[in-house]
Amino acid sequence: MANQNPKSKNLTITYIGGGSKGWAWGLMSDLAVEPELAGTVRLYDIDAESAQNNAIIGNRLSQRPDVVGNWTYEAVLSLSEALEGTDFVIISIVPGSLEEMRTDVHLPEEYGIYQSVGDTVGPGGLMRALRTIPIYTDIAKHIERYAPEAWVINYTNPMTLCVRTLYAAFPGIKAFGCCHEVFGTQKLMAKMLTELHGEQDVKREDIKVNVLGINHFTWLDSATYQGRDLFPLYRDLSIQYAEEGFELRDKGHWMNSTFSSANRIHFDLFNKYGLIAAAGDRHLAEFMPLNWYLKDPETVKSWKFGLTTVDWRVKNKVQLLEKAGRLVRGEQEFELKETGEEGVKMIKALLGLGELATNVNLPNQGQLGGVPLGAVVETNALFSEASLRPVMAGTLPAAVNALVNRHVLNQETILEAALTKNKALALAAMLNDPLASSIPPDQATEMFNRMFEATKRYLPGWE
């Protein structure tokens, strides 16, 4: 495709969380193989050394003969400098340290509450949100001052409340949230077609879906391949593999990786509600009552998914730091690897280099019926030049809508609690959560107070 926008060769992208050793490296890889974009990436991070290291890694990558993207990476020391006049802002941060995450995920286990992720809902999601909302309020105010016309792409969890906070702090912001969980469900159906129905070369993008819900609790009421309705095939799949499971990778891989599953929760929810749940099992489990999928580690194992421990994250962080050192010193070559994310495709579409329809998180303008306007929801949207328009997705069936709205309203409560520094309201949100409400209220209150104290240093102005 001929370049239609000269700006695409002189872009400025600001990466907040630019010291990242995951998402930032993924962006570098995607930009490196994209011939139609070029410019400068400003890396800002409260860990300035990590941002500087990523600038070294990115600039070394740009000099390689197999790289077609012409990018300069700069580490900047202030958020205002990073944002001044930028075209796109990408946010991917960790609110707090792994010690706070350890409390989020593992302290509730003392009360019999197990969490497979702990970053979106449940006790862990609540505490993470309370830490995140002040940070995102500050980011939004800086964007309003220094880059009000920039497009803002969020990858941080809790996704819903991150995007919701950006709009609460700066209503005129042009922000949206990206999540790849729906992609995994498309890949599941592509594998179903390939392995069980003899189709060849089915890509996940070939599976057309209608997306309704909220982040990590998304649902599909339509799925087609080349015009063929996939619901009857998925229904057969969910019945046939209800107990055994059907994995994207080799059979039994869920036992080797806490990020994998056998999709038994996918199938169980389909058989209960008649819609395709379109997030990973470890996320879906946390939105449901505790005794469904997360009653105890044995129950988790029986559903063939895993609990991602903070010890694993600590070990992984050490390994990534060691890898970063080797990349900075030139002892290891950066591996160009397609991430499967669509951030670069979105940027291209917003610049007028084609169109893109995909799932994103946006405030509800009516694209999802039965959910309050203004609440952040996940549906498909159409990206085109300087335009992002949500696709009207319809309304979830009453039984599923009741499940979704419980979390929508609770997330709105969490936002209000964080913005007003209201501890009693935050506790009410904890008591309303399906996981925390599964234990006696006095125990839930005690758990909340202990978790609150552990994260209080990130909550300025609270009692």
CATH number of domain containing 173: 3.40.50.720
The answer on 135 and 80 residing in a single domain is yes
Which letter does DSSP use for residue 336 in this model?
P
**What pLDDT was estimated at residue 263?**
96
Residue 329, domain member (yes or no): no
Residue 333, domain member (yes or no): no
The answer on 349 and 221 residing in a single domain is yes
The answer on 169 and 264 residing in a single domain is no
Give the whole-angstrom CA distance, residue 316 versus residue 12: 31
The answer on 102 and 19 residing in a single domain is no
CATH number of domain containing 241: 3.90.1820.10
What are the b/e assignments for 261-292, b being 16+ CB within 10 Å? bbbbbbbbbbeeeebbbbbbbbbbbbbbebeb
The answer on 81 and 40 residing in a single domain is yes
The answer on 168 and 37 residing in a single domain is yes
Give the whole-angstrom CA distance, residue 417 versus residue 433: 15
The answer on 101 and 154 residing in a single domain is no
The answer on 156 and 105 residing in a single domain is no
Range of the domain at 17: 9-95+119-177
Average pLDDT value for the chain: 95
Percent of the chain residues topping a pLDDT of 90? 93
Can you tell me the mean pLDDT for 329-355? 95
Give the whole-angstrom CA distance, residue 415 versus residue 161: 7
pLDDT score of 2 more than 70: no
The answer on 406 and 271 residing in a single domain is yes
The answer on 104 and 91 residing in a single domain is no
Instruction: List pLDDT tens digits, range 63-78.
Output: 999 999 999 999 999 9
Q: Which of the four pLDDT bands, split at 50, 70 and 90, describes residue 346?
A: very high
Point out the domain boundary residue: 149, 177, 205.
Answer: 177
pTM: 0.96
Give the residue, 400 or 308, on which the prediction is more confident. Answer: 400
Can you tell me the mean pLDDT for 415-437? 97
Can you tell me the mean pLDDT for 409-430? 98
Domain count for the chain: 2
Residue 335, domain member (yes or no): no
The answer on 143 and 44 residing in a single domain is yes
Residue 322, domain member (yes or no): no
Instruction: List pLDDT tens digits, range 196-245.
Output: 999 999 999 999 999 999 999 999 999 999 999 999 999 999 999 999 99
Residues catalogued as catalytic: 180
Q: How does strand 276-277 pair with strand 217-225?
A: antiparallel
Question: What is the maximum alpha-carbon separation in the chain?
Answer: 64
pLDDT score of 303 more than 50: yes
